[in-house]
Amino acid sequence: MNKLKQYECTVIIDGGLQDDAIAEAMELVKTTIVGKGGVINSVLEVGRRKMAYLIRKTSIGYYAHIEFDAVPAAIAEIERVYRYEENILRFLIIQLGSPLLEMRKRVEKYSIMLGSPEDQVDSEAVAAPAKS
């Protein structure tokens, strides 16, 4: 009786690859999770970013963040596939426990109430129409 647990996975793919090769690597990441019995909840592809240090002589990485549900036994199999994929530079899979989920709900609640600085800039641009 294996119960599904919530996980999040952050993946760094070699940013020096062509766009179609990155898309193939992302598809491999997703199909591996689904193939091992996981259910993907959300995918956030951040894009190419400069890394803090070189990994395999590469300074640019393509970052993606995936939240999914899976049985705990599937995590080792997913990690094994990622470890041997040469286009994946780094990955990290963590289980989302109840304290982390509660903290995330609080952050979402207060960020909606307070708003972000980007929201304030957008509202100022809308409030002040351009002069002609």
Residues 7 and 74: their CA atoms lie apart, in Å, by: 11
Mean pLDDT of the chain: 82
pLDDT exceeds cutoff 60 at 64? yes
Rg (CA), the chain: 19
What is the mean pLDDT of the segment spanning 62-70?
91
In what helix (H) or strand (E) does residue 121 lie, and over which residues does it extend?
helix 117-127
Encode 55-67: b = buried (16+ Cβ within 10 Å), e = exposed.
eeeeeebbbbebe
pLDDT for 67-102, tens place per residue? 999 898 889 898 998 999 888 999 999 988 777 777
Could you give the domains of the chain? 5-95 (3.30.70.60), 97-126 (no CATH)
Tokens of 94: 């963590």
